Amino acid sequence: MYKAGGQLRCLALLMAAWTAITVAHFAIGAGTHGLHVVHIVLAGLYLLVVIAAAIWFGLVGALLSSIAVTAAYIPYVLVVWRNQPMENANQYAMLVVYWVVAFTAGTLAWRREIEMQRHLASERAADRSAVIEAIAGLSNALRARDEYTREHSEQVALLAVAIGNELGLPENQVELARLAALIHDVGKIGVRDDVLLKPGQLSDEERQAVQQHPMIAADILRPIHGANEIADIVLAHHECPDGSGYPRGLRGEAIPIEARIVRVADVYASLVERRPYKNAMDSDSALSLLSQGAGSKFDLEGVQALKRVMAKSGMHKAT
């Protein structure tokens, strides 16, 4: 079916053609054999209106244009060709032709539209499975580099899905958050081992090197066909609602909702996990730390949703 800003122009064209044919039809009358030929040509031109309507507006357009043609044609037959029953029989047969053509052309347009939708859906599914395969490959690359990061990412993905569902996000956004969470730290592949695995405090220079990882991740993801949205989420997973995050200092809703969710999940998971340089924090303490920064450092609704998720799982009392 025709889909573009030109729909109104097509409608105007159809109405202009219908009006011109109808006016010409009534104007020529039925005086001579020559005029009869003109009538036959004009009656045929109505078919173009019906076919064009089917191409541009599908089955509905074809049927509506048939109604319009019928509404113009019957008065023409009754007025201009009155008292000519033999001729009228031919003319009424033409009405049947209009409707048969409308149904045929409309049905073909409708089937073509369905085929196109099916094709687009299978293309999207192919893109999505290519993205998932690419992400699985990146996840394996992470494992080869650092088993801890991969386990952490899987935990973040589980939490991101739980938060997204708790917030009532559409399924596709929850899935985007999950995929982004699985490889949110893939950019750490580009951070030197002695910095990435350093047990103690990082120097300013080392911290800056680590803070490059969202941009490195986005650069890794962008060339993957269909992974642009995931690249945007990963790029923003260290942004804060108050603009104090990195790499771009985005604020509030300028940060994709999926990235805000991944950040809440990421920070919570990091706090409750044991790392070489720190012990694991208990869930209540981690949630209370997140609550202190809710609305400034972390997405407020995301933190509230995580608390509800934890309360339902029995790991935290809702406050």
Report which secondary-structure segment, H or E, holds 34: helix 33-80
Cα 251–256–258 angle (5° rounding)? Answer: 130
- By beta-carbon proximity to Fe ion, the closer residue of 166 and 185 is 185
Judged by DSSP in three states, 242 sits in strand
CB of 213 to Fe ion, least distance (A): 6
Q: How far apart are CA 109 and CA 302, in angstroms?
A: 46
Q: Which stretch binds Fe ion (CB under 5 A): 2-10, 147-155, 183-191, 247-255?
A: 183-191
Residue in the shown chain whose Cβ atom is closest to Fe ion: 185
Catalytic hit among 188, 278, 312, 317: 188
Return the SS3 of 168. coil
Q: At its nearest, how many Å lie between Fe ion and the CB of residue 53?
A: 55
Q: Which two tokens stand for residue 36?
A: 């009869």
CA 192 from centroid of its chain's CA atoms: 37
Give yes or no: 198 in active site.
no
List the helix and strand counts (H, then E) for the chain.
12, 0
Distance CA 42, CA 245 (A): 69
Q: Which is nearer to Fe ion, 105 or 210 (CB)?
A: 210
Which stretch of DSSP H or E encloses residue 259?
Answer: helix 257-272
Which one among 146, 185, 232, 258 touches Fe ion, defined by CB under 5 A? 185
Q: Please, are residues 93 and 40 in contact by the beta-carbon 8 Å criterion?
A: no
Q: Which is nearer to Fe ion, 238 or 316 (CB)?
A: 238
Which of 188/316 has CB closer to Fe ion? 188
Give the residue with the Cβ less far from Fe ion, 185 or 258.
185
- Cβ of residue 14: shortest distance to Fe ion, in angstroms? 56
CB of 131 to Fe ion, least distance (A): 20
CB of 177 to Fe ion, least distance (A): 14
Q: Which residues contact 61 (CB under 8 A, 6 or more apart)?
A: 53, 54, 106, 109
Q: At what angle do helices 300-313 and 147-166 cross, to 10 degrees?
A: 100
- Does the footprint of Fe ion cover residue 239 (CB under 5 A)? no
Q: Are 59 and 106 in contact (CB under 8 A)?
A: yes
Binding-site size, Fe ion (CB under 5 A): 1
Q: Which residues bind Fe ion (CB under 5 A)?
A: 185
Active-site residues, by number, are: 188
